[in-house]
Structure formats: C-alpha cells, structure tokens
C-alpha cells in the first residue's frame, strides 16, 4: 500500500525534516541576542560568527533537503550540526527540575532528527 505513495511520503519526510531546520534557523536570527552570549559562555570561539554560520547551514541545508537537491550531503551536514549543537543547547545533565525535563525533550528530539536524516542519507544512496 505504501509503495504506491513512496515519492509523496519521501517528499513529506523531506519537507518536515528540512522545514524544521529552515524554521529553526530563521528563529535563531530573532534569538541571536540571547544565543551569542550563551554560546560564548560554553566556550565557543567567535560565538557570533559561529551562530551565523550555523544559521546559514540550517536554512540552506534545510532548503536543500526540502527540494531534494544534494539530499545526502545536506542531511549529513545537519547530522554534524546536531552533533555539535545538541550537547551545547540541550545539556540536561547540568540542570534540575522542570528545566532538566525540557532539555531532555530537546535532546531526544535532536537524536530523533538525526535518525531521520540518516534514513534520508540511506535512501539517497
């Protein structure tokens, strides 16, 4: 049954995965005043530049995933981005109470996103 809609399902997967990063990148532009000091406090050198590079990566790679262009390299770059960003922004081990719970949710969500991107990479091969 699903074989009939394979291309539509794959497009929906690319739209959801890539769209999440386009949205996050655009949201990070609005949050840059808060994010830059947070990244600097975590020891990120040239935090402002690193943030802007991350935003460009999120938006461009996310758009490429949606469009189905260079899907495997775009998805791989977002996996690398997640490996770097997840412990920086979802460091649940440094928190207690409700804040810890919300960071665990973000951490697990990013792990799931990485799994989705790995599936796209495997499909594109």
CB contact burial 49-73 (16+ within 10 A = b; e otherwise):
ebbeebbebbbebbbbbbebeebee
In tens, the pLDDT along 78-97 reads: 999 999 999 888 888 888 88
Q: Is the pLDDT of residue 2 over 80?
A: no
Q: Is the pLDDT of residue 44 over 80?
A: yes
Mean pLDDT of the chain: 92
Q: Is the pLDDT of residue 71 over 70?
A: yes
pLDDT band at 99 (very low <50, low <70, confident <90, very high): confident
Rounded Cα gap, residues 111 and 10, in angstroms: 20
pLDDT band at 1 (very low <50, low <70, confident <90, very high): low
pLDDT band at 4 (very low <50, low <70, confident <90, very high): confident
- Environment class of 89 (CB within 10 Å of its CB; exposed 0-12, middle 13-18, buried 19+): middle
Rounded Cα gap, residues 125 and 97, in angstroms: 43
């Amino acid at each position: 049954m699903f074989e009939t809609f394979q291309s539509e399902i794959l497009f929906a997967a690319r739209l959801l995965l890539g769209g999440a990063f386009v949205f996050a990148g655009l949201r990070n532009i609005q949050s840059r005043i808060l994010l830059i000091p947070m990244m600097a406090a975590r020891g990120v050198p040239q935090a402002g530049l690193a943030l802007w590079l991350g935003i460009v990566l999120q938006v461009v790679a996310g758009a490429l995933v949606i469009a189905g262009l260079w899907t495997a390299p775009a998805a791989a770059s977002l996996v690398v981005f997640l490996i770097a960003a997840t412990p920086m922004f979802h460091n649940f081990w440094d928190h207690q109470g409700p804040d810890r719970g919300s960071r665990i949710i973000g951490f697990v969500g990013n792990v799931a996103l990485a799994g989705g991107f790995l599936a796209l990479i495997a499909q594109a091969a």
